[in-house]
Amino acid sequence: MYDFAYQKPASVADAVKLLGDDPDAKALAGGQTFIPVLKQRLAKPSTIVDLGKLDLRGITVGADTVTIGAMTTHAAVASSEELKAKIPGLQELASWIGDEAVRHRGTMGGSLANNDPAACYPSAALAMDATIKTDRREIKADDFFQGMFTTALEPNEIITSITFKVPQKSAYEKFRNPASRYAIVGVFVAQHANGVRLAITGAGQGGVFRHTAFEQALSSNFSPDAIAGIATPPDDLNGDIHASAEYRAHLINVVARRAVAKAR
């Protein structure tokens, strides 16, 4: 990696200031994407602002919502019994990210801010109508994800917590890239009192997206059969050496049906 200056501020305000004062400064959360990028010299930040000292960890389970600190690791999410009882799909999703080492470093806020089109968490945020809280405002998940590696965040804006609406039932199902184990198609389905939300990650050219045709069908009949006949056009889907757009289109249906079948 290239040389850089290193800062580890003690407050969110200090972190925001450091990032704001230097347009080439970058925030470091868990670093599970960012550090490999640095090691391969694909980024050359002047300063790294390590968010590790900020008090942004923890899972708060309320009656209708669950709020998770942005610096909470995947391992913490995966091992929370309280969360497992409340939103089993989210707990399961976290348990499948990367490997044990990645899960003990990687954070929910880092994943959402990066918005990798094959990352798992963005689908959960969309499906559970999450509110992403930052140092300066609240952003609805529907407004937050703006295309591959692009979000509504301003350059020096830091996610502090994420609040999910607790669904009646939820599930995450992931068809993994055989090599990287990222999602080729990941489906988060959440059945809410006012309807079903279902988001797809890994497949879309523009990153995570809600599958409205599935949502409508499932809202009136929450069963795999309800979506069995709904095809997804491959036009806006990714194709690569692991899966063509047509295969992804097909897998979206298969994976979504499996997610619905196991939702609880």
Partner 1 sequence: MGFEGIGASVRRKEDARFLSGRGHYTDDINRPGQLYAFIKRSDRPHARIASLQTAQAAAAPGVVAVFTGQDMAADNVGGLPCGWQIHNKDGSPMAEPPHPVIAIGKVRHVGDPVAVVIAESRQAAKDAAELLEIEYDDLPAVATTLDALEPGAPTVHDDVAGNVCYDWHIGDKGTVDAAFARAAKVVKLELTNNRLVPNAMEPRAALGDFDTSSGDFTLYTTSQNPHVIRLLMGAFVLHIPENKLRVVAPDVGGGFGSKIYHYAEEAIVTWAAGKLRRPVKWTAERNESFMSDAHGRDHVSTAEMALDADGTFLALRVATIANMGAYLSTFAPCVPTYLYATLLAGVYKTPAIYAEVKAVFTNTVPVDAYRGAGRPEATYLLERLVDVIAHDTGMDRVEIRRKNFIPADAFPYQTPVALQYDSGNYEMTLKAALDAADFAGFEARRAAARAKGKLRGIGISTYLEACGIAPSAVVGSLGARAGLYEVANVKVHPTGSITVYTGTHSHGQGHETTFAQLISDQMGVPIDQIEVVHGDTSKIPFGMGTYGSRSLAVGGSAMVKAMDKIIAKGKKIAAHLMEAAVEDIEFDKGTFKVAGTDKSKTLTDISLAAYVPHNYPIEELEPGLDETAFYDPKNFTFPGGCHVCELEIDQETGVVEMVNFVAVDDVGRVINPMIVEGQVQGGVAQGIGQALLENAIYDSNGQLLSGSFMDYTMPRANDLVNISVGTEITLCTHNPLGVKGCGEVGAIGSPPAVMNAVIDALKEYGIRHIDMPATGAKLWEILQANRPKMAAE
CA distance 177 to 186: 10
Residue 169 binds partner 1 (CB under 8 A): no
Closest distance to partner 1 from the beta carbon of 177 (Å):
8
Q: Rounded CA gap, 8 and 31, in Å?
A: 14
Q: Which is nearer to partner 1, 24 or 82 (CB)?
A: 24
Task: Check binding of 95 to partner 1 (CB under 8 A).
Answer: no
Stretch that binds partner 1, among 129-137, 159-167, 205-213, 239-247 (CB under 8 A): 239-247
> How far is 258 from 143, CA to CA, in rounded Å?
28
CA 121 vs CA 15, 25, 236, 246: distances in Å: 24, 25, 21, 24
Binding mask 116-155 for partner 1 (x = CB under 8 A): ----------------------------------------
Q: How far is the CB of 40 from partner 1 (least distance, A)?
A: 8
Q: Are 164 and 90 in contact (CB under 8 A)?
A: yes
Query: Of the candidates 258, 30, 11, which has an alpha carbon nearest to the alpha carbon of residue 135?
Result: 11
175 in contact with partner 1 (CB under 8 A): yes
Rounded Cα distance between 128 and 140, Å, is: 10
Using rule CB under 8 A, residue 242 touches partner 1: yes
Q: Taking the complex as a whole, how short is the minimal distance between the CB of residue 233 and partner 1, in angstroms?
A: 16
Candidate residues 97, 251, 260, 263; the one interacting with partner 1 per rule CB under 8 A: 251
According to DSSP, the residues that pair with 199 across neighbouring strands are 188, 210
Binding site for partner 1 (CB under 8 A): 2-3, 40-41, 175, 178-180, 241-244, 247, 250-251, 254
